[in-house]
Chain A
Amino acid sequence: MHINRKFWNRKFWLAAAMTMGAGLAAPVFAAEPIKIGIAVGLSGPNSVVAPSVVQAAELAVAEINAAGGVLGRLLELEVADDASGAAGAQKAFDSLLFQKKVDSIITMETSAARNAALPIVTRGKKPYIYTSFYEGRSCNKYMYVNAWVPEQQVASVVDFFAKNLKTKSYFLIGSDYAFGRGMLEFTRKYIEQNGGKVAGEEYLPMDGSDWTPIISKLKASGADALITSTAGGAPNVTLTKQLRAAGVKLPFGNLGVDEGTAKSMGSDAEGVYLAASYFTNIDTPRNKLFLADMQKKFGADLKTPNDLSVPEYDAVWAYKLAVEKAGSMDTDKILTALGQVTVDGPRGMIKMDSQRHAALNMYLGQVQADGGVKILEAFKAVSPGAQCPNLM
């Protein structure tokens, strides 16, 4: 066997030359894509709605990339599972910000997940747009919110009841967690400030399914109307079914139900009032265009757009406009720009310039016998009030 003693021989230089030549002749690679992280509940309670959120983001990214991307770079999504809770959110945000090194996080999550993630966002120093409606007053240097807070939603329901249905006393029922209690605390204050009376306020743990004593209290209280803020999914269903089985026919405003759940509740949900910043039958050309584009992109796999997924679409567009306005990927410049850009989305023109939150068009709807939601009244540009007075 011939052992080649000399390593730096002809064969080596020939190989080296070929490699260098190939490297020089290779096409120039495109610039690095801009990565947007989405930490969403692929498992856990939010897994029912998470696919629609991801689809909304995918449509926005496809539209932006088709038009040339952002500052000449394409957008790319990185999706991580936050298991709809605090522990999962910590893992998801850690992996997105420090391993995948995303440039921003735009997502919808539970309040528990959001509160656990904020310290990580502060360490990661990247913009974070929170796209879920929530109980309000969450403030962080790096966060913007483009979904509604109680000041925007509760007012719509209570004002409509008081003005159109002439109700004076209200019974409040909620699930025992941050959103349930936060919403009803605000509701109580709003009702009392506007001359109404709260006849009772009752809570059940989130996994509780027996509302019987609470319903008995409701019937004994003599209230004119019922307003509920239960967790999404099972609590909404169990409460509504038991209310109907017990023969309760009061005007019923549900602050925590979404259009999809209401539709699938069948005849039990008929007559329920709900308020949101998005319904699929909002009659504007922009919304109709959005729905057509979603249908074209996803076809039979389309998950119905809803009040938790459409803000995600708006937020990805807001990020694109903000980065272009800032002219660079500098976080502070992008944060300033996020409060200055306006997105023309299915929910209307949205600008996050009210202390990191946005004035929104709110709609009050009522579930009809066929399961559809009829929009009864539209409130233009409802202010979120003072959410983060210490932030601009």
Chain B
Amino acid sequence: MTLLLDILTTSIILYGVAAGLLIIFGVMKIINFAHGALLTVGGYAALLVTTWGLNPWWALPCAFLSGALCGMVIERLVMRPLYSRPLDAILATWGLGIVIGQCITLVVGRGVQFVNSPVTGAVNIFGTSYSEYRLLLVPVVLGVVAALAWLLNGTRLGLLTRAVIMNEELARSLGINSALVRFATFSAGAGLAGLAGALITPLSSVDPNMGVPWLVSAFMLVMVSGVSLFSLGVACLVLGGAQVIVSTWGNSILGGLTIVVLAAIVLRLRPEGFSRV
């Protein structure tokens, strides 16, 4: 039972972390390597909320806004001039990730800090005692993803975004303002990264490099899942579940490798990954 709960909660955390990266990848066809740094920005936003003594649940909107603001600035200044050079854009986000990390270090220092968890302790569920916060993350992340899916499928901006995802050239020739779509998507993706950062900090620490380990896993998951949020969910469940199983029955060192190795195998066997599942 604990194993199942571990798999469920680990997958949901990966889902939350990777969602922002996925939509940026879908629309702009680039991997935002500053994703880890934006996670960190969200983490520090949550820290600010704690320092100001506010209810920890305020950390979520604060983190989303901080991430989105960073995203807007980055998109305008760095991504826009590099529209026609996707490889250079990817490299630019890598550099940005480093710059953001160092800026945070300059301002706040390198020390490790703590964020208050909105709920603490364990609850008894299905016969075992399990961390309440981890369980709470399941509905929270699913809610966020559902809101994102509604935005994509039920609004006009979402329609325009899906058009750009399908074929940007064609969309532009139809008069769709792809620059606006890119701007909105990048900001939303960055905001989601910030939100994910705030969601994971109660379970870990806040330091300038907290986002880096998540970047690789998120990258692999996005690569394997195509463009649909649903297939990302499946990928998180399968790969995240494998990671937990390997860590539980083998050791955690191997577990850390599982996502990366499995992603490589999946892509080799089925290049379209989990899309169209």
Which A residues have a C-beta under 8 Å from some C-beta of B?
45, 47-48, 176, 202-205, 207-214, 216-217, 219-220, 233-234, 236-238, 241-242, 244-247, 261, 264-266, 268
- B248 adjacent to A245 (CB under 8 Å): no
Taking a contact as CB atoms under 8 Å apart, the answer to whether A204 and B252 are in contact is yes
User: How far is B132's CA from A265's CA once the two chains are assembled, in angstroms?
Assistant: 20
Provide the bound-state CA to CA distance between A233 and B205, in Å: 9
B252 touches A202 (CB 8 A): yes
Q: Which residues of A contact B2 (CB under 8 A)?
A: 216, 219-220
Residues of A within 8 A of B269 (CB): none
Interface stretch, picked from B108-116, B158-166, B181-189, is: B108-116
Q: Give the docked Cα–Cα distance between A213 and B247 (Å).
A: 6
**Inter-subunit contact B252/A209 (CB<8 Å):** no
Which residue of A219, A234, A244 contacts B204 across the interface (Cβ within 8 Å)? A234
- Which of B110, B121, B204, B251 lies in contact with A203, CB distance below 8 A? B251
Inter-chain contact B247/A245, CB cutoff 8 Å: no
New A-B pairs, 10, CB < 8 Å, besides A209-B205, A238-B205, A245-B122: A204-B253, A208-B256, A209-B200, A210-B204, A212-B134, A212-B244, A241-B114, A241-B205, A246-B122, A247-B131
Task: State the CA gap A219–B13 with chains docked (Å).
Answer: 22
With A47-B110, A242-B131, A247-B129 known to touch, is A233 a contact of B244 (CB < 8 Å)? no
Q: B117 at interface (Cβ–Cβ under 8 A)?
A: yes
CB atoms of A216 and B6 under 8 A apart: yes
Among A45, A213, A245, contact of B134 (Cβ-Cβ < 8 Å): A245
Asked if A237 and B133 sit within 8 Å, CB to CB, the answer is no
| Interface residue? B255 (CB, 8 A) | yes
Please, how many angstroms separate the alpha-carbon atoms of A47 and B112 in the complex? 11
What is the bound-complex CA distance between A213 and B207, given in angstroms? 23
In the assembled complex, the CB of A240 is this many whole angstroms from the nearest CB of chain B, namely 9
Any chain A CB within 8 A of the CB of B10?
yes
A193 to nearest B CB, angstroms? 25
B127 touches A (CB below 8 Å): no
User: Would you mind naming 7 contact pairs between A and B with Cβ atoms under 8 Å apart?
Assistant: A204-B252, A208-B213, A233-B111, A234-B207, A242-B131, A245-B134, A246-B129
> Which secondary structure characterizes the binding site on chain A?
helix
B65 contacts the other chain (CB 8 A): no
CA distance A208 to B255 in the complex (A): 10
The answer for the CA separation of A284 and B210 in the assembled complex, in Å, is: 40
- B122, B209, B210: which contacts A247 (Cβ < 8 A)? B122
**Contact A208 B252, beta carbon cutoff 8 Å:** yes
Task: For residue B116, give the distance in angstroms from its CB to the closest CB of chain A.
Answer: 8
Chain B residues within 8 Å of A220, by CB: 2
In the assembled complex, the CB of A50 is this many whole angstroms from the nearest CB of chain B, namely 10
B188 to chain A, nearest CB (A): 25
Taking the complex as formed, is B3 at the interface, i.e. its CB lies under 8 A from any CB of chain A? yes
Q: How far is the CB of A21 from chain B (nearest CB, A)?
A: 53
Whether, in the assembled complex, B203 has its beta carbon less than 8 Å from a beta carbon of chain A, the answer is: yes
A-B contact count (CB 8 A): 108
A237 to B121, Cβ gap below 8 A? no
- Indicate whether A241 sits within 8 Å of B252 (C-beta atoms), given known contacts A234-B112, A234-B210, A246-B122: no
- Tell me the bound Cα distance from A186 to B263 in angstroms: 37
Q: Is B9 an interface residue (CB 8 A)?
A: yes
Bound Cα distance A209, B112 (Å): 13
CB distance A217 to B213 under 8 Å? no
**B212, A245: Cβ atoms closer than 8 Å:** no
**Nearest CB on B from A269, distance (A):** 10
Task: Give chain B residues whose Cβ lies under 8 Å from the Cβ of A264.
Answer: 113-114
A208 to B120 CA separation, bound complex (whole angstroms): 22
Contacts of B209 in A (CB 8 A): 207, 234
Chain B residues whose CB sits within 8 angstroms of the CB of A265 once the complex forms: 114
Residues B248 and A237 in contact, CB atoms below 8 Å apart: no
Q: A204-B252, A208-B256, A209-B204 are in contact. Are A245 and B133 (CB under 8 A)?
A: yes
Q: A217-B248, A245-B117 are in contact. Are A238 and B253 (CB under 8 A)?
A: no
Ordered nearest first, which 5 A-B pairs have the shortest CB separation?
A247-B122, A213-B247, A237-B205, A238-B204, A245-B131
CA distance A17 to B6 in the complex (A): 88
Closest beta carbon of chain B to A385's beta carbon, Å: 29
Residues from chain B with Cβ under 8 Å of A202 in the complex: 251-252
Q: Is the CB of A207 within 8 A of B203?
A: no
The CA-CA distance from A127 to B272 in the complex, in Å, is 61
Residues of chain B lying within 8 A (CB to CB) of residue A268: 114
Tell me if A213 and B204 are in contact (CB < 8 A).
Answer: no
Contact with A along B119-150 (1 / 0, CB 8 A): 01110000001111110000000000000000
Query: What is the CA–CA distance of A285 and B210 in the complex, to the nearest angstrom?
Result: 42
Which residue of the partner chain A has the closest CB to B248?
A: A213
Decide if B42 is an interface residue (CB 8 Å cutoff): no
A48-B112, A208-B213 as given contacts; A244 in contact with B207, CB under 8 Å: no
B226 sits at the interface (CB 8 A): no
A220, closest chain B residue (CB): B2
Q: Which residues of chain A come closer than 8 Å to B133, judged between CB atoms?
A: 245
Asked whether A242 and B203 contact (CB < 8 A) given A48-B112, A216-B2, A247-B122, the answer is yes
B273 within 8 A of A: no
Report which residue of B203, B251, B252 has the largest number of chain A beta carbons within 10 angstroms of its beta carbon: B252
Q: Would you call B202 an interface residue if the criterion is a C-beta within 8 Å of the partner chain's C-beta atoms?
A: yes
Known: A207-B212, A216-B2, A237-B112. A246 touches B251 (CB 8 A): no
Interface residues of B in 201-257 (CB under 8 A from A): 202-205, 207, 209-210, 212-213, 244, 247-248, 251-253, 255-256
